[in-house]
Each structure stands twice: as C-alpha cells, then as structure tokens.
Structure 1
C-alpha cells in the first residue's frame, strides 16, 4: 500500500505541474504589446476600408475629425485571440442642439461585420455630455471554419467609428477620437483542427503611383504581423492537457494493477485437500 500511495502522489504532482504550465495560456486579460508601446501612436484615421490606418495590439490611436465622418483603423488578430476594442470620443464644447448616438463597428478581413460578445458598441451622449465611451469584445478568432459559418478568422480586423444619430445642425462640429485595441490569448480550449492557408488580409500595400501622373489610388496601409508572427495552426496547450491526461491514466492503471493483484504469494493449501 505504501507503493500505491507513492504512485498516486507522483501522479498528482505530475498532473499539477503540467496543468500549471498550461494555466497562464488561458488568461483572459488583454496585455499591451511591448513593441507597440515603443512606436509612435497614429494621430489620424482613414475614411474608408481601403485607407484604414494600421495599428497594433495595445497601441493607442487618436484622430481629430468632424462629426459625421467615418473613421477607420485596422489591426491584425491571430487564431486563438479575443480582441477588445475601446473608443473614447471627446465631444465639442460648443453648444449642441441635442443628444448624439455613436457607434463602434468591427469587421473581419472579408468585411463581414462581427457581433460583439461583450461591451456597449452603441451609446447615446446627452446634449451636455463631454465625452462618450464605447467598447466591443469580439468572439475568439478561430483558425478555421466551415465556408457557411460567420466565425471570426485570423487576419485584418477593421474598426469603424461614427455617429449614427444626431440633429442636422450638429453635423461638422469638431470631435477628438481615441481608439485602442487589445488581444487576449484564450488557450487551447478554443483551438480547432485545421487552419487557413493564409490570414485574411485583402489588398495590403501602399498607394500605387499612376503612369500618367494622376493621383495615386488609395490602398490599405501595410499591415503588421502579430508579435511572434502568425500562428502555425497546429500547436496549442491542448497538447499539455492531453499529455497530463495520458500520464495520469497510465499511473492510475499501474496503481490499480498493484492493488488488485494481491501480495503475489501463493495461498496455502490445507494438507490432505
């Protein structure tokens, strides 16, 4: 029995060690990217999908605009990550004529609007409000999905900020917008089999000059990869959970065999039997 206890103790310690390694991978808090904090934050926004300003995870971006403008930013989100976008709009101090409703939308690389799992992407600001804050937490990005599904896939994610309802007299008033997007790694519990051949990043590049000297046609800003590059699609901490389960099953089988096989000594047979 002492041997059995020792085996069970070893199994418990081994399982706890492996699960402890896997634990940090499922943290649900978005942490700013170290490289993003060392770069200059963008101070303008695009006015369409094709001219969206590229940002990185954890990198704040600001823009001065007029009420009624459409403001666009774009960032990379990889498989297994959950993105949270926050926007703060500082409203003009000049007297406004009524309340205004602002909206934050997020689109994937196929320009499909993605629903927010958490947050308040639409909010009304009172006539005398100095600012309005919006937030949107997307579903976890999947490495692969069925063609008919609307699951979020790795690649470009476009953030659009605009006002959707206000008095006509308030159109054109100056506003200041601040947007920041963070990503949190959800770990192997969200992993799926399969992966895309390439992330959804349509038309990444810069403005292309025309041969006749005309104004260059706008194209999206060059997209940066996530820290560490795009996911290979096969590794996740599910491997650690699988290994821990296999080890515990093997040790449990050995312990069970040791208990059921008895002492191993032949039973005594009464004389004359």
Structure 2
C-alpha cells in the first residue's frame, strides 16, 4: 500500500507538470481578428510591410520587383514562412525565391522547405516555404543564430527573361510558429530584441521626449517580448528532482527489512 501511494503521488505530480508544458508546445495563436491583414508589400527593408504571425498578407506587383514584409518572432519559436505567387496567364518558365532576414539583416538559412522553386510555362501558381531554425534567446556575437526581434521576408523572381519582366503577379505570404519550449532554452537573453529603431525608442523614453520615440518597426508578439529566463525546462528539472526523491523513498521502503523475521541465534 505504501509503494502504491508513493507511485500514485509521483504520477499525479508528473501529470500536473506535463499539462503546462504541453500547452506551451502548441503552435502560436493566430493574430487577433481585429487587425486587418496588409494588402501591399514594401520594396526595401525600410519600407517592408508589417504583419503579425497568423495573418495572411497579400500584395500585387510585377515580375522583377522585390516584395518585402516583416513580422516579429520571439525566443523559443520556430517560424515557418509560406508564400504563394499567382503567375500571369502567359509566361515562360520562372524561378521564384523567398529569403528571410533577421533584425540585423542577416540572411537566415532554412532548415527545410522549398525556398526556391521553378514554375513551368503552363503553371498558374508557385508555392514556396522556409522553415527557420528555432529562435534563441541569446547567442555568441560571432554566431549567425536567429534571435528575438523583427524578421524580414523578401519574395522575388530570379533569372527572368526580358519578355517576362513587368508582368503582373499576386502574392500571398503567411508565417506561423511552433513553440519549441525548453528544448531550445539557453542560459541568457538579449537586453533588447533586434527591432530596428528600438534603441532610439529606449533613449527617448528615458528622456521623456515622446516626439523622438519613433521606431522603424512597431510590431511585437501579442504577449510582449519574453525575458528568456523561463521555459518548461524548469518544470522538467523540478519533476526530475521530485521523482528522484520519491524513488529514494520507495527504494528505502523496499530494502529496509521491516517485514523480514528477526535473526535467531544458532542453537537457540
């Protein structure tokens, strides 16, 4: 009975700990329905159109244009960028490419996905995808790890023929993230996320000068930027400690010899 109670308590505590961890591992919620998805794209990093994760941004342009959007990504997220281009009715074979850059304008490699794809002459659409590496809360200065902040999406056609330049196209871009949780946790965090102009905003706030608090990018996650110190790794560490203690108690109960008969001296 005692062993049963010990195991029951261990399973109960394990279930209580796993519940919030499982909730954290669910995909990021979609953007609020109150915010309208953008219907245009920028032509450079500085004019990139902002949109939230979960929104479907659309834009009309011409082949040969560079289309730019930006979105926020926080520590522990693994963003997936998906782009669809509706091609002209008549065109030659076209190669389209989607690139993702972080707040320092460093090009981020895709773990997997069709980042570049060639559409045949009779194709009506082309679909692209880029699954980024998990965003880290902190990294070495020399590393190219993705960090919290603004991310830029650039969509364009490469290697176009002269006859295909300037033809009208429609593009759709969407970003969704999977929350990786404690598996990607690190011991450290950035002082500020990599958002263009955030240093200007911080300086202006300290001087109480609202007129100088312009920020080049105003988007951020719904719950704000995380500090980078909390993750479900703390939960699993605590659960491991509790299970180790319960295992010690159970082992002691099994081996202390309370139920064994007392030793009888020979010849008694």
TM-score, length of structure 2 as denominator length: 0.88
Shift of 1:189: 1.1
CA distance in 2, matches of 1:44, 1:268: 88
Q: Is the Cα contact below 8 Å between 1:99 and 1:124 reproduced in 2?
A: yes
Query: How big is the shift at 1:137?
Result: 0.8
| Residue number in structure 1 paired with 2:246 | 251
- 1:112-160 per-position Cα deviation (integer Å, ceiling 9, x unaligned): 1101112101001111211111111101000001112111000010000
> 2:15 matched to which residue of 1?
16
Contact 2:54/2:174 (<8 A) preserved? yes
Provide the residue aligned with 2:230 in structure 1. Answer: 235
Could you tell me the TM-score, scaled by structure 1's length? 0.87
Aligned-residue offset at 1:41: 1.3
Structure 1: runs of 5 or more not aligned: 206-218
For each residue in 1:143-201, what CA deviation from the matched residue of structure 2 results, as whole angstroms up to 9, or x when unmatched? 00111211100001000000012211110011111111112211111111100000001
Number of aligned residues: 255
Q: Which has the higher contact order (CA 8 A, sep 6+)?
A: 1
Q: Gapped runs of 5+ residues in structure 2?
A: 201-213
Answer whether contact 1:18 1:240 (CA < 8 A) is retained.
yes
Partner Cα separation in structure 2 for residue 39 and residue 145 of structure 1: 33
Q: Once structures 1 and 2 are overlaid, which stretch shifts more, 258-267 or 77-86?
A: 258-267
**Contact 1:53/1:221, CA 8 A, preserved across alignment:** no
1:224 maps to which of 190, 201, 219:
219
Q: Which residue of 2 aligns with 1:104?
A: 98
SS at match of 2:112: coil
Give me the CA root mean square deviation. Answer: 2.2
Q: Classify the secondary structure of the residue corresponding to 2:223.
A: coil
Partners of 2:215 and 2:164 lie apart in 1 by: 30
CA apart distance, 1:5 = 2.9
**Partner Cα separation in structure 2 for residue 154 and residue 72 of structure 1:** 19
1:76/1:223 contact within 8 Å kept: no
Which residue of 2 is the match for residue 90 of structure 1?
86
Which residue number in structure 2 is paired with residue 177 of structure 1? 171
TM-superposed CA distance for 1:30, in Å, is: 5.2
Aligned pair partner of 2:152 in 158, 163, 173: 158
The reply to whether residue 138 of structure 1 matches residue 132 of structure 2 is yes
| CA offset digits 1:11-45 (Å, max 9, x no partner) | 23322332233123223x45422x1x321111111
Correspondence list, 1:44-63, <5 A: 44-63=40-59
* Paired residue secondary structure (1:117): strand
Contact 1:44 1:63 survives alignment (8 Å) = yes
Task: Note if contact 1:52-1:220 (Cα within 8 Å) is conserved in structure 2.
Answer: no
Query: Are the structure 2 counterparts of residues 67 and 202 from structure 1 closer, same or farther at C-alpha, using a change threshold of 3 Å?
Result: same
| CA distance, structure 2, for counterparts of residue 107 and residue 76 of structure 1 | 12
1:45 and 1:71 in contact (8 A); partners too: yes
